[in-house]
Amino acid sequence: MLRLIVCILAAVVGAGFASGREIIRFFSRWGSLSWPLILLCALAAGWMTHRLLERSASIFPSNNHPASGLVSVLLLAMYLCVSGGMAASAGELAALTIPIHYARSLGLLFTLFTCVLLSKRPGAALQGLGCALIPLLIAAWTLCLKIPSQLECPAPIYLPSSIVTAPMLTLFYCAMNMTLAAGVINKLAAQCTEMQKKRLSAGVGIGFGLMLTLGNAALLPHLDALADQPLPTVMLLRGYGKTGFYLSASVLYLAVSTTLIAALSAARELLPRRIQAKAGPVLFVLSALIACLGFTRIVAWAYPILGAFGLMTMLPKKKRQQYASAQMPDRQESLYNS
């Protein structure tokens, strides 16, 4: 059970999470309100994991279940966008750490090629990488906790309206992460009994909440200095010299790789069963082309849409059908419901 929890958490922890950017964006910037938001996110992560364990067969095609039409196409496009974004991020990390010509292109292509191969068996790959990623991330944030804050009391950055908007953004953020892990969860669903599904869901919620708590505790005291930084964790670890630099680079690269494997695995699962085994070259080429757009541009519009759409797929069936009837023309409704 612990290995399965690590597998899902490794898929959830991406470059934005490990760098601290997502934690500041969705939690720390709300000041003291960040703590109840983290609790909300942990509870939502457990619930969404259980929903995906129960409903993954209705999202991903199988021998007894056809592809889900428009839903499948939209999710496939979004997973490819995430794959391209992670590949672009791997190229940027290679350019920062490897002093050779064409380090960015070589790092991007090597990482993407390796992760396409590993996406055939994501469970084993994510378990192995997760056992390295999660301890390193905990070590990085523990070192950040030891850095004294320059402010006695960090000023919260929120308005009264954030009491309404902050929980909504938190749910979208949680749904985005759980949707990224949906392909891995789909493979694990068949291996678990009903009791194991409940234990696994609770473990993912608790683990995700504890990691958010540690990250928020490390970043919140430095909120004013880090609010506009693209890589807050890296900025804090600069004080440890080369050790801090290579620790942060290792954490970010592992986080990029695990998210890339999870996204490629989910994209592969959405394809018809007869072509999944031969889909590697197609996934590689499409992800590489999307990576040319750059990480920032991809994440700016793909991630929020992925979170909102992923949350919709987790709604109970009746609510999804009502939403589809209200939002889609009658001639498209049968395609959506299929």
Q: What's residue 137's pLDDT?
A: 93
Max avg pLDDT among 47-61, 152-166, 258-272:
258-272
Task: For 67-99, write each residue's pLDDT tens digit.
Answer: 456 667 777 888 888 888 888 888 888 888 888
Which amino acid, one-letter code, is at 37?
L
CB 33 within 8 A of CB 156: yes
CATH of the domain at 112: 1.20.1740.10
Summary mean pLDDT of the chain: 79
In tens, the pLDDT along 16-59 reads 888 888 898 889 888 888 899 999 999 999 999 998 888 755 56
**Predicted confidence (pLDDT) per residue in 197-247, tens digit:** 899 999 999 999 999 999 999 998 888 888 777 788 888 888 888 888 888
- Residue 309 near residue 74, CB atoms below 8 Å: yes
Kindly report, residue by residue over 1-19, the tens digit of the pLDDT: 888 899 899 988 888 888 8
- The rounded percent of the chain whose pLDDT value lies above 70 is 78
pLDDT of residue 335: 32
Of residues 308 and 35, more confidently modeled: 35
Residue 133 structural domain: 2-337
pLDDT band at 110 (very low <50, low <70, confident <90, very high): very high
Q: Supply the pLDDT for residue 332.
A: 37
pLDDT of residue 38: 95
> pLDDT tens, 171-192?
888 888 888 888 888 778 877 8
- For 282-297, what is the mean pLDDT? 78
Residue type, 115: C
How far apart, in whole angstroms, are the C-alpha atoms of residue 158 and residue 107?
39
Give the separation between CA 307 and CA 317, rounded to whole angstroms. 18
Please give the pLDDT value at position 43.
96
Phi, psi of 14 (to 5 degrees): -100, -170
What pLDDT is attached to residue 25? 85
Domain total of the chain: 1
Q: Is the pTM of this model over 0.85?
A: no
Q: What is the pLDDT of residue 201?
A: 93
Q: What span, in angstroms and rounded, lies between the C-alpha atoms of 69 and 276?
A: 17
Neighbours of 102 (CB within 10 A): 13
